[in-house]
Amino acid sequence: MLYREAGQFKTSYQADQAIFPIAQDRWFVWGLVAFGFLVLPLFADQYLYTEVLIPVLILSLAAIGLNILTGYCGQLSLGTGGFMAVGAYAAYNLALRLPETNLIVVFLFAGLMAMAVGVLFGIPSLRIKGFYLAVATLASQFFLEWAFARVKWFTNYAPSGSVAVGKLELFGMPIQTPMEKYLFVLAIVVVMTLAAKNLIRGRLGRMWMATRDMDIAAEIIGIRPLYAKLSAFAVSSFFIGVSGALWAFLRLGSWEPLAFDINRSFQILFMVIIGGLGSLLGSFLGAAFIVLMPIFLNQLPGILGIPMSTALISHLEFMVFGAMIVFFLIVEPHGLARLWAIAKEKLRLWPFPY
Amino acid sequence: MLGPIIETLIGGLLTGVLYALVALGFVLIFKASGVFNFAQGAMVLFAALSVARLSEVMPLVFAVAIAVVIMVVLAYVIERLVLRPLVNQEGIILFMATLGVAYFIDGFGQTVWGSDIYKINLGIPKDPMFFFEGVFPGGILIDREEVAAAAVCAILVAGLAIFFQVTRTGRALRAVADDHQAAQSVGIPLNYIWLIVWAVAGIVAIAAGMVWGSKLGVQFSISLVALKALPVLILGGFTSIPGAIVGGLIIGAGEKLAEVLLGPILIKTFDLAGGGIENWFAYMLALVFLLFRPQGLFGERIIERI
Amino acid sequence: MTLKILGAAVAAAVGVTALAAPALAQNEQFIPALVYRTGAYAPNGVPFANGIADYYKLVNARDNGINGVRITTEECEFGYATDRGVECYERLKKKGPTGAAYVIPLSTGVTFALTEKTATDKIPLITMGYGRSESRDGTVFHWNFPLLGTYWTASDIILQHIARKEGGFDKLKGKKIALVYHDSPYGKEPIALLTERAKRHGFETMFLPVTHPGVEQKATWLQIRQQRPNYVLLWGWGVMNSTSIKEAVAVGYPRSQMYGVWWSGAEPDVRPAEGGATGYNAVTLQHTAGQFKVHEDLKRHVYDKNQGSAKWDETGEILYVRGLINAMLGVEAIRTAQEKFGKGKPMTGEQVRWGLENLNITADRIKQLGFDGVLQPIRVTCQDHEGARTGRIQTWDGKNWKISSDWYTSDDKVIAPMVKDAASKYASEKKITAGCLN
């Protein structure tokens, strides 16, 4: 009843090719963005900012990056953590060595450096495929993690190997309080999501998807696999690099290479798959799910008033987490985004079943 | 200089055997069901925990026997609750499911058995043996535990080879590995075969868990040896048992030699804060191999059709 | 169907996270407990967490809290992962009527991550025997309290002991000393001091990092076998420690030439290596293993009522005892703060900070508290947040830890200038004006 596209006629190609052809979708997204910028800051407390909203947004960005590579171009990667580290350390070094650089430039630089490294490590994808490639991307993960722990220049010769960022500001405005950080992250994420959406809708995205669905067939119809795959690696790494820099600067503040270890790679892969391969919405849903799930499980016994030892809670958390993943895969292998799509289908007919 | 090199080489080869033991479990399952079973590391931990805790109250032999039963039950549960509902899904979905299983087993194992460091005592003396002390200063050092591990591995591989070549079930397994549908059409029950494969992988995990556990102590970190087995897999090929062994040896020897010989040079040249190149060397080595043979050393040739 | 489940789950999750801290009775002092009872570091994290929890229980049961203010605590598991540790801190810092009294992270990584956050939130960070070594300078690190000793103190004491064995620091010339360390901020802390001492006395150093969690050490120890350093210093944590000792056995490196930091010198570190660890040494954070006076109270008030967190015969273990000491110092700091800001009232983090900075535990007070023979007097000042920097060497005899040296005090002629340099560098980076808070 409420969600119905009947009567919305498209009278131009432009309207037909809009990001959200259905008016309700458009309103919904505008509403969501407005809610994020205007309403949430009215009531959110610090914990909600620093431990829920900021991590979810930043990791969503990383998940979008991985989704471009894995979901849209079909190249499974386990090196996300390493590329995030490239972004983080690139940003750190630029901010350290040229302190006057604008923060936006710093993050762009982080993305570009990650992009360069990503293309370099993407070259083997031209030869190897599937799980072989997945394991090969682990090479980049371990190598990068090692490089940032060992090459002293990257950490500015810090004796502890742990680096920290100073005070952040943008065009003279400080980015210090959780709310300022949140708004900054939100703005970047919104802009980059829009960019991702348009890339995917365009020529490049179609090339990626053709390559994903069958690379030989794609090659035969004239798509150069070299260009398609490497461009996917480049764009994906750019997103991941920016998210790594955001994670380091706005979430952690001070970090060591361990913050970008193999578990981070797995975490983001989980997000992409639980959320839905080949779906931008899925990246957000997956990130929210993976970030909130442990927090929720951790607090559940306390809320229900069941006394439980911390160790048991933590073990149970592992078990429930594992079981949830299996459960989700069995019920809906295409992820939360697919559930959302089904919900929309149902909503279209609601309240009349036919 | 030659002494240390030989010593490192031998040490590396023996460590490689341990990697091969874990990789073997991966290969068995991938070959028969096309599942990239990330839970193998968790299974090694779970098996080792079972043996360690049970052997506190009973002789080791019984503990191992009960552990075998536990692993078979585990295989049954996984087959029933995870694999069967996911039949015909893509590889990546199955891979994710095994990641979930790995988390579950890690948590479950520690809930049931505890998270302290436990011991498995195989009765092997811990002190090293020295050879050729006349030829090289200090002699060549060999770790007895690793020799024992190599022996266990050899027995296991021989056993598996006989199982695959001679028994009826083994032949059925090979048939399934070659072609799922053809195997099914001649009346081989797939579910049953999967159960067998996962059970066998569980038993391999017991062997690996006991050897690693006796060496390192049984503790959560054992499940991370799975990460060490991955380059072995891509080097040897996902589907080849000899590949797992040879790959293990190459990786083991390669990374130790690199760390001991190449490490100090790298540190000097680039003024690094310490070595530790073995963390990525194995992966890089495997990657370079892959560029020349994309299916691994012994993997099946990939034929693509439209 | 699945949609409903999902909807319910999402709603519940949102509900939980939005939920504010439950209201607590007013006369309570909340102290968060960041613990790790699972994962690769659990064997060491568990006894320490038990010691802390039991001491709070004891204070509540025996004295009805601190001057009538009962201690409430909540554990948050973070598995030694820095980001989850920070999440735990953020979740717990506002609980209780006055917020968290202080934080004990038991992780140098988390300490680094929290150093700035705690300063903003005005919550003291007690890092007893760990954390950043330069944070002993309280004029810059107002909120950090590396009580009883930093890693520079630890490594200095070990070097002093080695020098005494060799017959003086001048005899160290040409000797080779290796450091096998956990590749994290924790393991890297002693490098600065070793480098400084090496420059002064002309010994060679060899730094060998071990990657988390530390079960892969074969190549490290093959290098040690080939390079044959005269001494090996061990800066490990969790399963890495026992693995190091086992690998030392496997390459035949004499354990008597191995010296661990106080975090590498507890029962879980040596027991898995069985007989192999005999002769292995570690520096103590003053105390060693064994039950003492306070255990009588602990038995009467906590363990006889089945309220203990550990098994009774585990309460004499080194890390458990260290937990007791750590909790005791925290409680005494709150008591000191109450002397100034009002007895029988819960203290804010700011007030507890004052208590810590003016902490003065005399020999008499130690006796009263039942820590006789375990601790030496400690006196914290604004300039010195360490309070005491003494230690002894202990040796594992196959069954027990035995003290095998006299007391050493770290040499401030070496350390103080290093602290000053590092602290002023930090101050200028972070634009902190050095000086004492009130």
Residue pair A65/A80 in contact by the 8 Å Cβ criterion:
yes
User: Which of A150, A220, A269 lies nearest to residue B272, judging by beta carbons?
Assistant: A150
Q: Are residues C163 and C221 in the same domain?
A: yes
C219 and chain B in contact, CB less than 8 A = yes
* Closest-CA residue to A293 (of A52, A48, A50, A43): A52
Q: Are residues C272 and C232 in the same domain?
A: yes
Q: Is C261 within a domain?
A: yes
A316 and chain C in contact, CB less than 8 A = no
Q: Are residues C165 and C232 in the same domain?
A: yes
User: Which of B107, B111, B277 lies nearest to residue A146, judging by beta carbons?
Assistant: B277
Over residues A139-143, mean pLDDT: 91
Look-up of token digits 């839970």: B39
Q: What does the alpha-carbon distance between residue A315 and residue A285 come to, in Å, rounded to a whole number?
A: 25
Q: Give the range among A232-236, C24-28, C109-113 with minimum mean pLDDT.
A: C24-28
How much is the mean pLDDT over chain C? Answer: 88
Q: Is C83 within a domain?
A: yes
Backbone angles phi, psi at C314, to 5 degrees: -90, -5
Over residues B50-63, mean pLDDT: 91
Over residues C10-21, mean pLDDT: 44
Q: Are residues C50 and C178 in the same domain?
A: no
pLDDT, position C2: 42
Q: Is C404 within a domain?
A: no
User: Which of C39, C188, C215 lies nearest to residue B216, judging by beta carbons?
Assistant: C215
Is pLDDT at B172 greater than 50 in this prediction?
yes
Is pLDDT at C65 greater than 80 in this prediction?
yes
Structure-derived torsion over alpha carbons of residues B50, B19, B229, A117, reported in degrees to the nearest 10: 140
3-state helix, strand, coil in chain A (%, to 5): 75, 5, 20
Residue at which a domain ends, from C284, C307, C333: C284
Distance (Å) from the alpha carbon of A292 to chain C's nearest alpha carbon: 7
pLDDT, position C20: 39
* Closest-CA residue to C153 (of C183, C190, C187, C126): C190
Look-up of token digits 């710093």: A106
Contact A295 C16 (CB under 8 A): yes
CATH code at C211? Answer: 3.40.50.2300
Q: Is C3 within a domain?
A: no
A149 and chain C in contact, CB less than 8 A = yes
For chain B, give the percent of residues with pLDDT over 90. 16
Q: What does the alpha-carbon distance between residue C172 and residue C201 come to, in Å, rounded to a whole number?
A: 6
Cβ neighbours of A161 in C, within 8 Å: 183-185, 188
User: Which of B8, B215, B276 lies nearest to residue C183, judging by beta carbons?
Assistant: B276
Q: Are residues C225 and C140 in the same domain?
A: no
Q: Which domains does chain A have, with CATH numbers?
A: 47-254+261-349 (1.10.3470)
pLDDT, position C15: 45
Distance (Å) from the alpha carbon of C238 to chain B's nearest alpha carbon: 9
B224 and chain C in contact, CB less than 8 A = yes
Question: pLDDT for B228-263, tens place per residue?
Answer: 888 888 888 888 888 888 999 999 999 889 888 888
Is pLDDT at A140 greater than 60 in this prediction?
yes
User: Which of A139, A322, A329 lies nearest to residue B280, judging by beta carbons?
Assistant: A139
User: Which of A130, A138, A325 lies nearest to residue B91, judging by beta carbons?
Assistant: A130
User: Which of A46, A161, A259 lies nearest to residue C82, judging by beta carbons?
Assistant: A259
Q: Are residues C312 and C200 in the same domain?
A: no
Q: Are residues C200 and C230 in the same domain?
A: yes
* Closest-CA residue to B198 (of B42, B10, B17): B42
By C-alpha distance, the chain A residue nearest C33 is: A310
Residue at which a domain ends, from C226, C252, C284: C284
Q: Is C370 within a domain?
A: yes
Q: Are residues C293 and C425 in the same domain?
A: yes
How much is the mean pLDDT over chain B? Answer: 85
Over residues C180-197, mean pLDDT: 91
User: Which of C2, C74, C185 lies nearest to residue A160, judging by beta carbons?
Assistant: C185
pLDDT, position C322: 95
Question: pLDDT for B265-276, tens place per residue?
Answer: 888 888 777 777
Question: pLDDT for C149-165, tens place per residue?
Answer: 999 999 999 999 999 99
Residues 80-139 of C with CB under 8 A from A: 81-84, 86-87, 90-91, 94, 108-109, 112-113, 115-117, 132
Interface chains of chain B (3 or more CB pairs under 8 Å): A, C
Contact C37 A255 (CB under 8 A): no
pLDDT, position B306: 62
Q: Are residues C263 and C294 in the same domain?
A: no
Question: pLDDT for B277-300, tens place per residue?
Answer: 888 888 888 888 888 887 777 777
Q: What does the alpha-carbon distance between residue A122 and residue A72 come to, in Å, rounded to a whole number?
A: 15
Residue pair C124/C148 in contact by the 8 Å Cβ criterion:
no
Q: How confident is the model at residue C260 (pLDDT cuts 50, 70, 90)?
A: very high
Contact B276 C188 (CB under 8 A): no
Q: What is the largest CA-CA distance in chain C?
A: 78
Is pLDDT at A23 greater than 80 in this prediction?
no
CA angle A237, A239, A243 (to 5 degrees): 110
* Closest-CA residue to A314 (of B217, C63, C35, B20): C35
Contact C268 B116 (CB under 8 A): yes
Q: What does the alpha-carbon distance between residue A340 and residue A337 come to, in Å, rounded to a whole number?
A: 5
Q: Give the range among A107-121, B279-293, C230-244, C389-403 with minimum mean pLDDT.
A: B279-293
Is pLDDT at A345 greater than 90 in this prediction?
no
Cβ neighbours of C90 in A, within 8 Å: 46-47, 50-51
Q: Are residues C423 and C355 in the same domain?
A: yes
**Testing the interface with B: which of A132, A133, A334, A338 to mutate, by most B Cβ within 10 A?**
A132
Cβ pairs bridging A and B (under 8 Å): 149
Contact B104 A322 (CB under 8 A): yes
Q: Which domain holds residue C312?
A: 22-149+289-390+418-430
Contact B110 C210 (CB under 8 A): no
Q: Are residues C144 and C161 in the same domain?
A: no
Examine the predicted complex and report whether its ipTM is higher than 0.90.
Answer: no
Look-up of token digits 């936006």: A104
For chain B, give the percent of residues with pLDDT over 70. 96
pLDDT, position C3: 44
Distance (Å) from the alpha carbon of C144 to chain A's nearest alpha carbon: 16
pLDDT, position B38: 87
Q: What are the CA-CA distances from residue C256 to residues B113, C245, C259, C277, C397 (Å)?
A: 34, 11, 8, 9, 11
Cβ neighbours of A315 in B, within 8 Å: 107-108, 110-111, 115
pLDDT, position A19: 77
Over residues A254-269, mean pLDDT: 89
Question: pLDDT for B87-111, tens place per residue?
Answer: 777 777 888 889 899 999 988 998 8
Give Cα B245 to chain centroid, integer Å. Answer: 10
Count structural domains, chain C: 2
- Using the 8-state DSSP alphabet, how is residue A69 labeled? I
Which residues have a Cβ under 8 Å from the Cβ of C130 and sit 6 or more positions away? C106, C107, C108, C111, C146, C150, C151, C186, C263
Distance (Å) from the alpha carbon of C247 to chain B's nearest alpha carbon: 9
C311 and chain B in contact, CB less than 8 A = no
Question: pLDDT for A171-214, tens place per residue?
Answer: 888 888 888 899 999 999 999 999 999 999 999 999 999 999 88
Q: How confident is the model at residue C239 (pLDDT cuts 50, 70, 90)?
A: confident
Is pLDDT at A93 greater than 70 in this prediction?
yes
Which residues have a Cβ under 8 Å from the Cβ of A92 and sit 6 or more positions away? A156, A163, A165, A248
Residue at which a domain ends, from C243, C266, C284: C284
Q: How confident is the model at residue A330 (pLDDT cuts 50, 70, 90)?
A: confident
By C-alpha distance, the chain A residue nearest B37 is: A131
A258 and chain B in contact, CB less than 8 A = no
Using DSSP, state whether A67 is helix, strand or coil: helix
Q: Are residues C363 and C252 in the same domain?
A: no
Is pLDDT at C22 greater than 70 in this prediction?
no
pLDDT, position C11: 47
Residues 313-332 of C with CB under 8 A from B: none
Contact C209 B141 (CB under 8 A): no
Q: Is C62 within a domain?
A: yes
Is pLDDT at C19 greater than 50 in this prediction?
no
pLDDT, position B1: 65
| Whether this model's pTM surpasses 0.90 | no
CB burial string A233-272: b at 16+ within 10 A, e below: bbbbbbbbbbbbbbbbbbbbbbbbbbbbbbebbbbbbbbb
* Closest-CA residue to A14 (of A201, A167, A266): A201
Q: How confident is the model at residue A1 (pLDDT cuts 50, 70, 90)?
A: low
Is pLDDT at C375 greater than 60 in this prediction?
yes
